[in-house]
Amino acid sequence: MLAQTGAQAAAEAMRQIDPDVVPVYPITPQTPIVESFSKIVADGLVNSEMIHVESEHSAMSAAVGAQAAGARAVTASSSAGLALMFEVLGVASGMRLPILMNIANRALSSPINIHCDHSDSMGVRDSGWIQIYSENAQEVYDHNFLALKLAEKVSLPAMVMQDGFITSHSLENLEILTDEQVKQFIGRYKPQYPLLNIEKPVTMGAIQLPDYFFETKRQQIQAMSQAREQYDAVAQELSKLTGRSYPKIETHNLENAQAIIVVLNSTAGTALAAMRKLKNEFREKVGLIKIRLFLPFPQEEFREIIKKAVGENLKTIAVLDRAVSLGSDAPIAKEIKNALFDLSNKPQVYSYIFGLGGREIFEKDIKKVYLDLISKKTDHQVKYIGLRQ
Amino acid sequence: MGYNQSQKLKSWKDIPPAGLILSPGNSRENKTGSWSNKKPFFDDKKCTQCQLCVNACPEAAINSGKDKKISVNPDYCKGCAACVEACPRKAIKLN
C-alpha cells in the first residue's frame, strides 16, 4: 500500500508498463504525471526513451511514429494540450496504433482556467479512441493496465481519464501489483505489421481515395465494436489479480430505486457518499450509475440495466455532465437518451450540468438532485448545479 | 458500349487494416480511374479519328489502334471530359 496522488498512480502504472517510448509535453494538471515519470526515468527504473517534445502535436506525432515502428508508446495530456493533439489523435486511431494516454481532465479555454471539467476529453470523443473514466487514484492505476491490454487486443488507442487536481493532486491509498504481475498481465506488445520489420516491409499512412477510404473507416467501426465485446474478458482477467471489479457500467442500489443519478469520474464518489447519507426513507428509493467505459459506449448493457430497473420501480434518471456541448444536449445526457430511445417503457431523463472550470460540487448538491427527483420537483429544462442564478 | 474495369474493388473485410500496403510496387495495381463517375462514349458516325482527343487526355487513357480506331482504357479514365471539349465534331459524350 502506497500513499499516492492520481498523477503518481498513473506514473507508477507507467513504470510497471515500462513503455519503450514516452513522448510527452507538460501541462497543468497533467504535469505531475510527467514529473513523476521523468524521475523514474532519471533513476534508471525503466528502459523507456522519454522524448521532451516541443508541443503536444509533436508528442502525439512521436507516439504515432514509435508505435508504428513497433514500440509501445505512452503519453499524457490535459485540456489545451489534448486540443492541440486533435489532428494526430485521428491519425493514431486511423492507423490502428494502440497508444495509451493518461488525461488529467481540465477545462478548455476561453476563459483560461486550469481546473477540472470534462470538456477536453469529451471534445475529442469522435476521434476513435477508447475512453475509460476513473473515480480515484486506484482506478487510474488499474485502468492503465486494462486500457493498454484492451487497446492492443483490438488495435485502437485508449485514454484513461482522471479529474484534474481533484484526483491528480489528491493523496490516496494505492494498492499496487508486483512488477511481475503487471508484466504477466500486459505481456509483450506484438504488433501485426511493425514498420521496422525489414523481413516484411509495409507502407503505413498512405493516401486512400474514395474507392477505399470508406472501407477502412468501416474496419475502425468494427474494431470499436470488438473493444466493446472484448472489454469484459480483459476486465475479468485484471479482477483476478486485483480483487477489484471493473464493470463497464457500475451500478449501486438499483433494486427498487425510483430515481437514479448517472455520473462519471470523481463525482461518482461524491454521489455515492451523498446517497449513503440520505435518510433511510429516501435512501431506498435512489440509486447510482457510474460509467467507466464511455467509449465505445455500452449502449445495450445500459439499456438492459435500465429496462430491468424500470420493471422494478425506476421512474427518473438525472444525468450529471461536467461538460457542455454548446448548442446541443450535454455529452453523457445525449448518449443516454440515445441508448434509451428504443425502450418502450422509458424513464424520464433529466440533464444536469455541474462543475465547469472546477466549480465545486458537494454532497448536499447531489442530495438535492435526489430529493428533487423523488419529489418530482424537476422538469425537462437543463439544470445547473452550483451556478448563481 | 459498356465499360468493365479490370479491377474489382474489395470489401472492407478483405483489405489490410488501416489502409496498409503490404507489398511494394503496388502503384501498378492502383487503377486511378476507379473513382470516376462517368466515362466518355464515342459516336462512331461522327468520329473522324482525328486523334485530338488522344492528345487532350491527361491520363493517356485514350488510345488508337493500328486501324486508327479510338478506344478508352476505363482503368485510368478519370472522367474529366477534356476529350469532350477537344472533339471538333462533338462526337464524345460523358455518360
Residue from B10, B14, B15, B31 whose CB has the most chain A CBs within 10 Å, to mutate: B15
Please count the CA atoms within 13 angstroms of the CA of B43 that sit on its side-chain side: 11
Question: Which distant-in-sequence residues (6+ apart) come within 8 Å of A171 by Cβ?
Answer: A3, A4, A5
Q: Which chain B residues are closer than 8 Å to A210 by Cβ?
A: 35
Window B:32-71, CB contacts with A under 8 Å: 34-35
User: In this predicted model, which residue has the larger pLDDT, A250 or B3?
Assistant: A250
**Sign of the Cα pseudo-torsion (A372, A378, A380, A381, in order):** negative
**Residue A351, amino acid:** S
**What's the whole-number average pLDDT of chain B?**
88
Residue by residue, pLDDT tens for chain A (389 residues) are 899 999 999 999 999 999 999 999 999 999 999 999 999 999 999 999 999 999 999 999 999 999 999 999 999 999 999 999 999 999 999 999 999 999 999 999 999 999 999 999 999 999 999 999 999 999 999 999 999 999 999 999 999 999 999 999 999 999 999 999 999 999 999 999 999 999 999 999 999 988 899 999 999 999 999 999 999 999 999 999 999 999 999 999 999 999 999 999 999 999 999 999 999 889 999 999 999 999 999 999 999 999 999 999 999 999 999 999 999 999 999 999 999 999 999 999 999 999 999 999 999 999 999 999 999 888 889 999 999 99
Q: What is the pLDDT of residue A187?
A: 98
Cell numbers describing residue A191: 504488433
The distance of Cα A168 from the centroid of its chain, to the nearest Å, equals 14
Instruction: Give this prediction's pTM.
Output: 0.93
CB nearest to A215's CB, from B12, B21, B22: B12
Q: Which chain A residues are closer than 8 Å to B20 by Cβ?
A: 193, 202-204
The band of B3, judged by pLDDT with boundaries at 50, 70 and 90, is low
Window A:180-199, CB contacts with B under 8 Å: 192-193
* Distance between CA atoms of residues A225 and B55, nearest Å: 51
Q: Which chain A residues are closer than 8 Å to B22 by Cβ?
A: 193, 200, 202
Question: Is B34 in Cβ contact with A211 (below 8 Å)?
Answer: yes
Q: Where are the domains of chain A?
A: 2-242, 249-385
Check: CB of residue A216 under 8 Å from CB of residue B11: no
Per-residue pLDDT of B4-41, as tens digits, reads 566 688 999 999 999 999 988 877 877 888 778 899 99
A128 interfaces chain B, CB cutoff of 8 Å: no
Query: Which neighbouring-strand residues pair with A77?
Result: A103
Question: Is B35 in Cβ contact with A215 (below 8 Å)?
Answer: no
Q: What is the pLDDT of residue B6?
A: 64
Q: What is the pLDDT of residue B7?
A: 66
Q: Please state which CATH number belongs to domain A2-242.
A: 3.40.50.970
Cell numbers describing residue A388: 448563481
Question: Is A204 in Cβ contact with B18 (below 8 Å)?
Answer: yes
Question: Is A215 in Cβ contact with B10 (below 8 Å)?
Answer: yes
**Residue A183, amino acid:** K
Check: CB of residue A286 under 8 Å from CB of residue A253: yes
- The verdict on whether omega for the bond into residue B40 sits within 30 degrees of 0, i.e. cis, is no
Check: CB of residue A156 under 8 Å from CB of residue A223: yes
Name the percent of chain A in helix, strand, coil, to the closest 5: 45, 20, 40
Residue from A213, A214, A216, A225 whose CB has the most chain B CBs within 10 Å, to mutate: A216
A98 interfaces chain B, CB cutoff of 8 Å: no
Nearest CA in chain B to A154: B17
Helix axes A6-17, A137-154, angle to 10 degrees: 40
Q: What is the ipTM of this complex?
A: 0.88
User: Measuring CA to CA, which residue among A125, A32, A17, A129 is closest to residue A72?
Assistant: A17
- Evaluate whether A2-242 and A249-385 have a shared fold: yes
Q: What is the pLDDT of residue A144?
A: 98
pLDDT at B86 > cutoff 60 = yes
Cell numbers describing residue A24: 510527452
pLDDT at B1 > cutoff 60 = no
The CATH-assigned architecture of domain A249-385 is: 3-Layer(aba) Sandwich (3.40)
Chains A and B: how many Cβ contacts under 8 Å? 53
Q: Is B63 helix (H, G, I), strand (E, B) or coil?
A: strand
How far B88 CA sits from the closest chain A CA (Å)? Answer: 33
Q: Which chain B residues are closer than 8 Å to A206 by Cβ?
A: 19, 21
Check: CB of residue A118 under 8 Å from CB of residue A61: no
Question: Is B34 in Cβ contact with A202 (below 8 Å)?
Answer: no
